[in-house]
Amino acid sequence: MSLSVEQFLSLSDAEQLQTIKDLNDSGNVKTIIDVLTSVGIENLSIPLLGELGRAYNNNGNEKEAIKVLEAIDEEHRDAVWYYRCAYAYGSIVLDNNEAYISDTMQQMLRLVDQGVRLATESELDDIKSYCFEVMDMCYMQMDFEKCEADYPDLCTAYNEYVAAKKKKREGVPRHRTITVEEIQATDDMWTINEPMYWTINIYGSYDDYLESAKPFTVEQRYLNAISWYFAEVNNGGHHQFFYNSTGIVWEDALAGLRLFKMDTLADNLQSVIDYFGGSISFDRAERWTILQDWENEEELFDFLDKKDDVVYEYDGIYEDTFVHEHPELFVFDGTYKVRE
């Protein structure tokens, strides 16, 4: 999506904010930065300053994010503000592999601490979780023994978050039998993919991913990868797909698109892989670094926008055609755990 300064200024205040939010949600951060900096930071409302800070964070320019966010007066600094600032400092900690005692790490923890307090008071559970995810991001550099002494309330809340997340991961057992007849009778691929969705681990290492997929056929694994690919690209484009944990399935998604005769989509995804040098790391932290490096290239988001459009507009053979033609490859009889 392109947006000129003139188009932006012709919008109402509410329309301006919604347009920038939509651009941020779709990963089109360069447009946001170009438009809002052209308008002038001094002319931006507090919500637009927050969105510009968010865009800088998503563009891997955390120092500029901090400058913009700190331009917001203290009286307007809410839980979201503290999260965005904490994310910027946390990214710097991660990039520089800074120790727990570093000034940057300590500033991140102070921001997270206050963000969690405000989010709790306002019952913003999603923002509270985002704050804890910043601590997750810096997990390898954290000294939790010292942290518990320095930030006792924060660490108590974080431990409760970790325990709740672990409980959700463990899930509730569910038994399913998926027969050839059921597969042939349904066009809802979610019902067929559900056991793989809940079982295959996309959040750990690539070895974890492969190990968790062992109970299933390779075709079932491919179906799950394609499902993740569609879900992420249709929500936030290829940038979101690779930025999130879902990027670990890219090779299986590509192989699945080929096997399922979805060649237009396979060629499209292959062109994205080729753009990044022919292969992309299965490690999320390494993908973050790659994306941050490439985000400095002006043509990246224009290129990805075109590749996203191919997925949005695709009207060829969908995955259910292959599944219906080969139902025996997708049968299931067993138990898996559904997370709460």
Which CATH number characterizes residue 207's domain?
Answer: 1.20.1420
Q: Which amino acid is at 266?
A: A
Let me know whether 110 and 234 are in one domain: no
Whether 74 and 140 share a structural domain? yes
Q: Length of the chain in residues, anyone?
A: 340
Distances in whole angstroms, Cα of residue 198 to Cα of each of 130, 170, 193, 202: 22, 10, 9, 10
- Nearest by Cα to 335 from 167, 165, 171: 171
Which tokens sit at 2? 């392109």
pLDDT of amino acid 207: 95
Same domain, yes or no: 216 and 159 = no
Among residues 328, 321, 295, the alpha carbon closest in space to that of 56 is found at 295
Closest residue by Cα to residue 161 from 197, 193, 195, 136: 136
Q: How far apart are CA 73 and CA 78, in angstroms?
A: 11
Confidence (pLDDT) at 340: 59
Do 258 and 328 share a structural domain? yes
As a whole number of angstroms, the distance between CA 34 and CA 38 comes to: 6
In tens digits, the chain (340 residues) has pLDDT values of 678 889 889 989 999 999 998 888 877 888 999 999 999 999 999 999 999 999 999 888 999 999 999 999 999 999 999 999 999 999 999 888 899 999 999 999 999 999 999 999 999 999 999 999 999 989 888 888 899 999 999 999 999 988 887 776 667 789 999 999 999 999 889 899 999 999 999 988 999 999 999 999 999 999 999 999 999 998 889 988 998 899 999 999 999 999 999 999 999 999 999 999 999 999 988 898 888 777 777 788 889 999 999 999 988 788 889 999 999 999 999 999 887 5
Residues 145 and 279 placed together within one structural domain of the fold: no
**Whole-structure pTM value:** 0.55
Does one domain contain both 198 and 324?
Answer: yes
How many domains, the chain? Answer: 2
Looking up tokens 């600094």, which residue turns up?
77
8 A C-beta contact, residue 216 and residue 250? no
Q: Say if residue 101 is in the same domain as residue 41.
A: yes
Same domain, 229 and 315: yes
Give the pLDDT of residue 331.
97
At 1 the pLDDT is 60
What residues contact residue 79 under an 8 Å CB cut-off, 6+ apart? 115, 118, 119, 122, 124, 127, 128, 131
107 with 214, same domain? no
Domain span holding position 297: 171-338
Q: Which residue is associated with the tokens 């188009």?
A: 7
Q: Which among 145, 168, 191 is the end of a domain?
A: 168
N-terminal to C-terminal alpha carbon distance within the chain: 36
- Residue 97 is classified by DSSP as T
Judgement on whether residues 55 and 183 belong to the same structural domain of the protein: no
The helix (run of H) or strand (run of E) holding residue 68 is helix 62-69
Residue where one domain finishes, among candidates 168, 186, 203: 168
Q: Tell which of 133, 168, 203 closes a domain.
A: 168
Q: Do 149 and 107 share a structural domain?
A: yes
φ, ψ at 176 (rounded to 5°): -135, 145
**Distance from C-alpha of 48 to C-alpha of 284, rounded to nearest angstrom:** 29
Q: What is the dihedral of CA 191, 129, 280, 25, to 10 degrees?
A: 80
Query: What is the model's pLDDT at position 292?
Result: 78
Q: Are residues 58 and 186 in the same domain?
A: no
